[in-house]
Structure 1
Amino acid sequence: MVEAQEKKPDPATVIGGMVFAVLLLDAEGCIAETNHAAEMLLGKSEKRLLGQSLAEVVELIDERVIDHLAQPDASLVARDIRLFVDGQEHRVNLTISPLTAYPGWRVVTLSDSGRDDAAREQEGEAASLGAPAILAHEIRNPLAAIRGAAQLVARKLEPAERHLARMITDEVDRIARLIDRMQQLGRSTPEKLGPTNLHEAIRSAIATVRAAGNEGIEIVEEFDPSLPPVLANRDALEQVLINLLSNACDALRNSDTPEPQVSVRTRFVSGFAFSAVHFGRTVKLPIEITVTDNGPGIDEALRDHVFEPFITSKKSGQGLGLALVRKLVRDMQGRIAHERDTRLGLTHFRVHLAVANREKSA
C-alpha cells in the first residue's frame, strides 16, 4: 500500500489527463506530441497531427499570437483570443512556453476561455440579480393596488376618457411581466433535470414561434437524428429555444434581408472538447444546438455583452431575454455562446448540453 501511494504518475499520464489541449512543437514549429484534449479540439488524431505546423490545423486571428509563434524563444499568456478550427470560431485562452533546455521547442496550451471564469462570473451574476429580484417582489403589492384603483376609476369616467385608465392598467401589466422575468433571473433553485428528447423540444418551440406570426421567414431544420437524449429540463429548454428563435425572427422582420431565414442545427461536437465546471467536476458538453439567422446581426458595440441583463438593441426591448436564456442554460449545466460570421453574414447562437445518463440524471 505504501509503495502504491508513493508511486507517482509519469509526466505523459499527467499531460494526457488534462482537460485543456497541450501541444508540443519542435524547433521547426511542427507538432511533435499532443494529448487527448488537443485531439478533440482539433478534430484529428495525434497520428494525423504529427509533423504539421500549428498554422495548418488552426487559423489564428490574433496578431500577438502569430508574432510570438514566429519567435522560437518567446513566451506568451493570452486570454479570450479568437481562432478557427475547421471554419468554426472558438474563444480560447492560450499559452506558449519555450523549453530552454531544447532550443526552439515549445509547449502550447489551449483552453476554452469560458471554463476558467465560469464560477466567478456566475457568482457575480447571482449577486447582481439578487437585489433586483428582491425589489421586484416588493413592487408587486403596490402594482396590484394601482391596477385595482385604475379599474375602479374607469367605471366612473366618461366613455371617451376610459382609455386613460386602460393605459394605466396596460402599463401596470407590462411592468408586472418585466418583474416576472426579473424574478426568474434571480431564482437560485434550478428546475429538475432528466433525459430529454432534443428534437421534440426544438419542434415544439418552432411550432410556438410560427404560431406567433412570422410569415415570410423560413425556419429550416438541420437535425442529426442519431443524437441521444440530452440532460435538460424540457420546459426550460423549450423556453431557451423560443427566445432564440423569436429574437432571430425579430431581427429579420426589422431588416431588409431579401431571403430571411432561420436555421436550427443539431450535431455531436467532435472537433472541440466543450466542457463546464459543475460542483467541482468537469461536465462534457458534446451536444450542440445552433440557431442561425441571416439578418444584420447585433450591434458590434453590444456583441460582447449580449447575455448581460438590461443590454438590448431593440427599441422596445428590456434586455432580459438573453440573460434569462443564459441562466436557464447554465441551470441545465450547459453553455451558450454568440458568434457573428461577418464573412457569410450570419449570426449564430450555440447551445452546448451534456448527454443524459439515464441512471444518474436528476
Structure 2
Amino acid sequence: MSQPDLSFLLKAEQPSAAAPEPEQPTPAVTAEPPEGSVSALIAELRAYQAELESQNKVLRYSQTVAESASERFETLFASVPLALMVVDEYDMVVQANSMAHRSFQPTERDRPLTALMPFVSDTDAPRVQEAFAQARAQGHSEVTEVVFTIAPNIRITGDLHIARIEGHQGDGPVQLQFLCAVIDQGPLLAERHALQQSAQALQQRNEQLHASEKRLEAVINSALDAIICVDQNGLITVFNPTAAALFQCSAQDALGSPLERFLPAAAQALAFAQLTTQAMLGEMTACTASAKELAVEVGVSFERHAEGETTTVFARDLTGRKKAEAHRSELEAQLRESHKMQAVGTMAGGIAHDFNNILGAILGNVELAKADCAPGSPVLESLLEIDKAGRRARDLVRQILTFSRNEPPQRTAVSLAEVVHDTERLLRVTLPPAIELHMQLQPGLPPVLADATQVEQAVLNLCTNAVHAIQGQGSERGSILVEAALVHPDQRLSERLGLAPGDYVALTVHDSGPGMDTATLERIFEPFFTTKPVGQGTGLGLAVVHGVMRTHEGGIDVQSVPGQGSRFTLYFPCLL
C-alpha cells in the first residue's frame, strides 16, 4: 500500500522564503510546537490507517465467505432430495425448495404451498403443533409418520424434522423461523410392511414347523413300533416310549448309548446308508437292558442333511406274533386231529354196525347150538369159548359205536360225585391189590349236564389205562388218584382246549406210571393207537374218552412227563 502524502502539513509550518515579509508590528513571543510531536502524530495516523485497511480486508473476506456460504446453502437447499421449507412462526412458508414444491404441489391445479398446517391431517395436527412448540423451546424436534393430504386421493406419509432459526434485522426484535424437512416414508413404509409380512410369514412357518414337530413327536411317542434315531456317530438321539418298554430301558438312560447296546446285528446295516435310503432287515435278535434276548423285526431309514446323517431304526416285537403263530399251529393240529378222528370214527361206525349184525347172528347160533348139546359134551366147551369171544367182540363194537356216535347224547343233570362213587365200586372189585385207589372230591360240586353212562365209561377207561401203565413199568405197586373240583379255566387254557367261558367241574385221574414222551402224547387220541403188546389193547379207550368229552361240549387235557406219571383232566361245563 502507498504511503499517504502528508507534506502539506510541513508546508503549512514553513512559509516560502521568496515571499516578502510584511511590515507588521512585532508580536508577542509565542511557543511553537516541537517538530517531533507532529511526526509522532503522523506515524499514529498511518498506523491507524493500516489497521483500518486490515479490518476492511478481513471484513471483505468475511463478506465473501458469507456470500459463498449463502450460495452453498441456497444450492444445497435447492438440490437436496428432501422436501425442505422455511416456515415462520405464523405457519407461513417463507421459502421452499423444488422438492417441496413437487411433493406438496404436483400440479398447478393443486393447493399452493403457502402454509404447512393445512396439509397436515386432522389426526396428526396436534402432534405437529406440539413438535413446533418443542422446537421453539429446545431448538429442534421431530414427529414420525405424519400424514400430509396433498389431494383427495394423494397422501404422503413422512417424518417431519423441525429446527429453529433466529433472524436479526438491525435493532429490531428477533424473528423466529423454522427449517422443516419432510422425509417421505412411503417407500420405507412399503418396505417395512413387506418386512412385517415377511416376518409374519416367517412366524407362521415357524409355528407350522413347531406344530409339525409336535405332531411328529406325538406320532413317534404313540407309535406301536420302537423308533430309535441314531446320529452319524452311531449314538442314540431319539428313543420313543415303545422302545423304552420293549428294551426295558428309560429314554434318559438310552440317549447317547450306541445302537449295538440294544440291536447288535442292526449296527452292521448302517453300511447300507451309502446305497439306499431305506432297507428291511427282517427278523433279528435284540437285547434288553437286562441282557434278555427277544425277537424283533427291524427296518431302517437313512436321511442326509446339513449336519450329517441320521439313521432311524424301526423295531417291532415279534414275541406276540410268535406266540400267536405257535397257538395257531396248535389249533390247526387240533383241527386236523379232530377231522382225522371224525373220519376214522365215521368209518369205524359203519364197520361196527355191519360187524354188530354179524356178531348177532354168531351169538344167536351159538345159543341155539348150546341148547342142542347134551350136558358134558366136549362141543359145549368150544361153544362157550365162541360165546365168550363173541361177547368180547360185542363190547368192542359198543366202544366203537360210542366213539363214532356223532349225535348228541341224552344228557340230564348229573352229579359227578355220584358217578365217580359208582365207578369206584366197580374199580375196587377188579383193581389189583398192589395198586391203591384214592378219591379226593370237593364237597358241594354243582351238577353237570351229562350222560351218566358215558361219563362212567370215560372214567373207567382212564382208570383202566392207569392200571395198565403201572403194571407195564415192571413194578406191581402204584397208586391212582381221582380228583374232582370246581375250576374256572384261564383264557389260554380255554383257547387251547376250545372251552367256552364259564365254570367247569374238573375231573382228574393221576397215576404213578412211567409217563409218556412227546411222540406218544401226539397220538394218544388216535383210534386203534396203543403202546400195549399185540392182543392186550384195542387202542380205543382214550379215543372213546375224547369222543365223550366232545359230545359233552367239554375238553380233555393231558400232562405227562417220562418217569413222573400221567395226568388226565376232564372239563365238564357246569349246569347253569
Please give the range of the TM-score, normalised by the shorter of the 2 chains. 0.5 to 0.7
* Cα displacement string for residues 201-242 of structure 1 (whole angstroms, at most 9, x for unaligned residues): 222222221122432321122333354333433332222112
- Residues 19-168 of structure 1 mapped to structure 2, 5 A cutoff: 26-28=245-247, 70-74=293-297, 103=315, 105=317, 108=320, 109=323, 111=327, 115=331, 118=334, 121-153=337-369, 155=372, 159-168=377-386
State the 1:197 CA deviation.
Answer: 2.3
- State how far apart, in whole Å, the 1-side matches of 2:426 and 2:449 are: 22
* Cα displacement string for residues 46-80 of structure 1 (whole angstroms, at most 9, x for unaligned residues): xxxxxxxxxxxxxxxxxxxxx898244259xxxxx
Q: Cα distance 1:345–1:286, how it changes in 2: closer, same or farther (>3 A)?
A: same
* Cα displacement string for residues 129-181 of structure 1 (whole angstroms, at most 9, x for unaligned residues): 11221222222333333334445555458833443333323222222222122
TM-score (norm 1): 0.63
- State how far apart, in whole Å, the 1-side matches of 2:440 and 2:329 are: 28
- Residues 261-340 of structure 1 mapped to structure 2, 5 A cutoff: 261-269=479-487, 272-273=490-491, 274-275=493-494, 282-284=500-502, 286-298=504-516, 301-315=519-533, 316-340=536-560
CA contact 2:515–2:561 (8 Å) conserved in 1: no
Equivalent position SS for 2:356: helix
Task: Give 2:411's aligned amino acid.
Answer: L
CA contact 1:276–1:284 (8 Å) conserved in 2: no
* Cα displacement string for residues 262-319 of structure 1 (whole angstroms, at most 9, x for unaligned residues): 11123344573333699x9945464322211001234764331111110112331111
State the 1:128 CA deviation.
Answer: 1.9
Equivalent position SS for 1:103: strand
Q: 2:391 aligns with which of 173, 184, 191?
A: 173
CA contact 1:336–1:350 (8 Å) conserved in 2: yes
* Cα displacement string for residues 107-145 of structure 1 (whole angstroms, at most 9, x for unaligned residues): 524558765555554344222211221222222333333
Task: Give 1:73's aligned amino acid.
Answer: V
Q: Cα distance 1:270–1:150, how it changes in 2: closer, same or farther (>3 A)?
A: closer
- State how far apart, in whole Å, the 2-side matches of 1:139 and 1:258 are: 37
Larger helix proportion, structure 1 or 2?
2
- State how far apart, in whole Å, the 1-side matches of 2:352 and 2:540 are: 14
- State how far apart, in whole Å, the 1-side matches of 2:295 and 2:409 are: 51
Q: Cα distance 1:172–1:201, how it changes in 2: closer, same or farther (>3 A)?
A: closer
Q: Cα distance 1:26–1:264, how it changes in 2: closer, same or farther (>3 A)?
A: farther
State the 1:106 CA deviation.
Answer: 5.1
State the 1:325 CA deviation.
Answer: 0.6
CA contact 1:307–1:322 (8 Å) conserved in 2: yes
- Match for residue 246 of structure 1? 464
Q: Cα distance 1:255–1:28, how it changes in 2: closer, same or farther (>3 A)?
A: same
Task: Give 2:348's aligned amino acid.
Answer: P
- State how far apart, in whole Å, the 2-side matches of 1:203 and 1:281 are: 26
- Range with greater deviation from structure 2 (164-173 or 249-258): 249-258
- Match for residue 83 of structure 2? none
- State how far apart, in whole Å, the 1-side matches of 2:544 and 2:244 are: 43
Alignment: residue pair count: 272
- State how far apart, in whole Å, the 1-side matches of 2:244 and 2:442 are: 36
State the 1:348 CA deviation.
Answer: 0.8
Q: 2:455 aligns with which of 237, 250, 257?
A: 237
Equivalent position SS for 2:571: strand
- Range with greater deviation from structure 2 (327-336 or 286-295): 286-295
Gaps of at least 5 residues in structure 1 are 1-23, 31-66, 76-99, 358-362
Q: 1:341 aligns with which of 553, 561, 564?
A: 561
Structure 1 vs Structure 2 CA RMSD: 3.6
Q: Does structure 1 residue 351 correspond to structure 2 residue 564?
A: no
RCO (CA 8 Å, sep 6+): is it higher in 1 or 2? 1
- State how far apart, in whole Å, the 2-side matches of 1:169 and 1:159 are: 16
Task: Give 2:542's aligned amino acid.
Answer: L
CA contact 1:25–1:105 (8 Å) conserved in 2: no
Compare CA radii of gyration and give the structure with the larger one. Answer: 2
CA contact 2:437–2:479 (8 Å) conserved in 1: yes
- Match for residue 80 of structure 1? none
- State how far apart, in whole Å, the 2-side matches of 1:121 and 1:202 are: 29
- Match for residue 224 of structure 1? 442
Task: Give 2:358's aligned amino acid.
Answer: P
CA contact 2:530–2:539 (8 Å) conserved in 1: yes
